């Protein structure tokens, strides 16, 4: 069986923790592993191979996080230049598989608590998939949620798919007992899915086939932007599942949560005896049932209950519990005035490591740059800024115009405007430099890449 991990989501419901270029599946909210990594680990014993459908901008983050898990299974990345919802993403993964291969399709941003129940449900689904079924997983509803679609079942048969219900209808669904939350997980043979897609949504099938055929394959399968744009955006539910006669549903009680809001995050995080989530660097005085997500800063509460407090380097959100659906509205407002703040953190992830903006003012910008062992930034120059580099940890290998040299901690150098330069870490330990940029224009787009290990030029 091959696990297909859908990684293209860029939801902003957990903003400011998640940003469109650092979506929630990659955030390490639960300690050691991100939700994406948890997804890999959860399926490690079930699958011989993985394919990851991911936005090309997140490829290196996904690759790094996959490597961090230590799961050595055969791994393939399919890079989308832009998202087209789940039907095309799954079609591309199916085209890259053998037709008789069983695919277990899973989102990368959900949480599943009950591993053995999950494995059991997957094994049942696999049996049905082998028999030619398109299997969906129906989550036993814990309560009358109005934010999900429901699947009405009759045993393994699907009677109907239901849109998000109102509160009264949701209660009826829960009482009836044969309605399940639509989890977005599927199991089926690649060939069976493609045949159904060809019948039920032939335009999507054709445009995906063309995109797949034209794709460049090196370390990953790269779909061209032109081909991707030509594909109609559609969910697998609308395109196939709601129309196909081959659909089965496996009821699953697997401790599932989609972490669609800070409210559901609160429910899943460990809490102390006052009901506050457990966090470092937080002092609660007479405060109960609060979710606090923080970073470096000390956070203290006094006599407050049922609050969602989310603190990042550049944005702080304080919401009443139960109101976190309005984060979406907030993100819309932020986007108007400061779109960059919805896209990236002050710490940005790059294929070679990370940088953090420490200070930004008219005429200068200060960054802390961390380069991972063995990584190289692109060979580049800038039209508008000079740069000062001070090595504060590790050893930097530096090229400036015709000169190559090493700098160790407590040494510095200067890169004038227009000088071609490159920074690399050829050691086995992390390299950290402090960079002060000076110039009239300091935008990230003032960069001319002459060579790049990560094909960004």
Candidates 70-78, 120-128, 205-213, 387-395 — which segment interacts with its own copies by CB under 8 A?
A: 387-395
State how beta strands 102-107 and 150-154 pair.
unpaired
Asked if 409 is part of the footprint of its own copies (rule: CB under 8 A), the reply reads: yes
261's enclosing H/E stretch is none
The residue (of 235 and 354) whose beta carbon lies closer to its own copies is 354
The residue (of 160 and 300) whose beta carbon lies closer to its own copies is 300
The residue (of 222 and 367) whose beta carbon lies closer to its own copies is 367
Indicate which single residue of 285, 402, 440, 445 sits in contact with its own copies (rule: CB under 8 A). Answer: 285
User: In terms of Cα–Cα distance, which of 350, 382, 356 is closest to 369?
Assistant: 356
Indicate which single residue of 29, 144, 156, 366 sits in contact with its own copies (rule: CB under 8 A). Answer: 366
Asked if 297 is part of the footprint of its own copies (rule: CB under 8 A), the reply reads: yes
The residue (of 227 and 411) whose beta carbon lies closer to its own copies is 411
Indicate which single residue of 48, 320, 404, 457 sits in contact with its own copies (rule: CB under 8 A). Answer: 320
The residue (of 172 and 314) whose beta carbon lies closer to its own copies is 314
Indicate which single residue of 115, 300, 404, 451 sits in contact with its own copies (rule: CB under 8 A). Answer: 300
Size of the site for its own copies (CB under 8 A): 57
Q: Is the dihedral of CA 104, 107, 108, 109 positive or negative?
A: negative
User: In terms of Cα–Cα distance, which of 231, 213, 215, 151 is closest to 186?
Assistant: 151
Q: Cα–Cα distance between 54 and 73 in angstroms, integer?
A: 18
Indicate which single residue of 167, 225, 333, 450 sits in contact with its own copies (rule: CB under 8 A). Answer: 333
The residue (of 214 and 323) whose beta carbon lies closer to its own copies is 323
Asked if 369 is part of the footprint of its own copies (rule: CB under 8 A), the reply reads: no
The residue (of 252 and 391) whose beta carbon lies closer to its own copies is 391
Asked if 313 is part of the footprint of its own copies (rule: CB under 8 A), the reply reads: yes
**3-class secondary-structure state, position 335:** helix
State how beta strands 431-439 and 385-393 pair.
antiparallel
Which residue, chain included where needed, has tokens 């990659």? Answer: 26
Measured from the CB of residue 425, what is the shortest distance to its own copies in angstroms? 16
The residue (of 388 and 449) whose beta carbon lies closer to its own copies is 388
User: In terms of Cα–Cα distance, which of 99, 136, 123, 85 is closest to 246?
Assistant: 136
Indicate which single residue of 6, 341, 369, 400 sits in contact with its own copies (rule: CB under 8 A). Answer: 341
Q: Cα–Cα distance between 263 and 451 in angstroms, integer?
A: 45
Measured from the CB of residue 24, what is the shortest distance to its own copies in angstroms? 18
Q: Cα–Cα distance between 36 and 27 in angstroms, integer?
A: 9
State how beta strands 307-311 and 291-293 pair.
parallel
For residues 248 and 185, the answer to whether their CB atoms sit within 8 Å is: no
Asked if 72 is part of the footprint of its own copies (rule: CB under 8 A), the reply reads: no
Q: Cα–Cα distance between 111 and 119 in angstroms, integer?
A: 14
**3-class secondary-structure state, position 61:** helix
Asked if 400 is part of the footprint of its own copies (rule: CB under 8 A), the reply reads: no
Candidates 25-33, 34-42, 177-185, 319-327 — which segment interacts with its own copies by CB under 8 A?
A: 319-327
Measured from the CB of residue 427, what is the shortest distance to its own copies in angstroms? 16
Structure-block tokens of residue 271? 């809490």
The footprint of its own copies on residues 413-442 (CB under 8 A) is 414, 432, 434, 436, 438
Structure-block tokens of residue 92? 């591309």
Asked if 324 is part of the footprint of its own copies (rule: CB under 8 A), the reply reads: yes
Q: Cα–Cα distance between 373 and 428 in angstroms, integer?
A: 5
Q: Is the dihedral of CA 376, 381, 382, 386 positive or negative?
A: positive
Residue 16 preceded by cis peptide, ω within 30: yes
- What is the C-alpha R_g of the chain? 24
Residues within the interface to its own copies (CB under 8 A): 283, 285-286, 294, 296-304, 307-309, 311, 313-320, 322-324, 326-327, 329-330, 333-334, 338, 341, 356, 358-359, 361, 363-364, 366, 368, 386, 388, 390, 392-393, 409-410, 412, 414, 432, 434, 436, 438
């Amino acid at each position: 069986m091959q696990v297909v991990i859908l990684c293209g989501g860029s939801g902003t419901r957990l903003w400011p923790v998640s940003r469109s270029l650092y979506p929630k599946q990659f955030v390490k909210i639960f300690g050691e592993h991100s939700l994406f990594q948890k997804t890999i680990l959860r399926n490690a014993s079930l699958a011989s191979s993985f394919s990851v459908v991911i936005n090309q901008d997140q490829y290196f983050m996904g690759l790094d996080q996959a490597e961090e898990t230590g799961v050595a299974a055969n791994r393939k990345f399919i890079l989308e230049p832009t998202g087209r919802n789940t039907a095309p993403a799954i079609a591309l993964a199916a085209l890259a598989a053998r037709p008789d291969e069983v695919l277990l399709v899973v989102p990368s941003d959900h949480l599943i608590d009950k591993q053995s129940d999950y494995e059991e449900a997957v094994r049942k689904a696999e049996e049905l998939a082998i028999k030619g079924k398109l299997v969906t997983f129906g989550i036993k509803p814990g309560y009358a949620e109005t934010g999900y679609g429901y699947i009405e079942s009759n045993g393994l048969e699907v009677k109907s798919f239901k849109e998000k219900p109102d509160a009264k209808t949701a209660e009826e669904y829960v009482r009836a007992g044969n309605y399940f939350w639509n989890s977005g997980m599927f199991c089926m043979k690649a060939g069976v899915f493609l045949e159904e897609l060809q019948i039920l949504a032939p335009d999507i099938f054709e445009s995906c086939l063309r995109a797949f055929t034209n794709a460049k394959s090196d370390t990953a399968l790269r779909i061209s932007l032109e081909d991707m744009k030509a594909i109609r955006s559609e969910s697998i539910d609308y395109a196939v599942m709601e129309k196909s006669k081959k659909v089965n549903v496996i009821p699953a009680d697997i401790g599932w949560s989609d972490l669609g809001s800070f409210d559901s995050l609160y429910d899943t995080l460990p809490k102390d005896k006052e009901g506050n989530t457990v966090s470092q660097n937080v002092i609660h005085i007479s405060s109960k049932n609060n979710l606090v997500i923080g970073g470096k800063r000390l956070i203290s509460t006094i006599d407050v209950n049922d609050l969602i407090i989310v603190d990042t380097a550049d944005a702080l959100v304080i919401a009443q519990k139960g109101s976190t659906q309005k984060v979406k509205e907030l993100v819309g407002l932020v986007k108007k005035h400061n779109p960059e703040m919805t896209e990236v953190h002050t710490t940005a992830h790059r294929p070679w490591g990370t940088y953090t903006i420490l200070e930004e003012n008219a005429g200068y910008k200060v960054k802390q740059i961390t380069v991972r062992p063995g990584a190289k930034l692109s060979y580049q120059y800038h039209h508008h800024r000079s740069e000062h580099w001070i090595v504060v940890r590790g050893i930097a290998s530096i090229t400036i115009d015709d000169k190559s040299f090493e700098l160790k901690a407590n040494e510095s150098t200067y890169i004038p405007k227009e000088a071609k330069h490159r920074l690399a870490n050829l050691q086995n330990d992390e390299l950290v430099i402090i960079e002060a940029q000076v110039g009239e224009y300091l935008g990230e787009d003032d960069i001319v890449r002459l060579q790049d290990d990560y094909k960004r030029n």
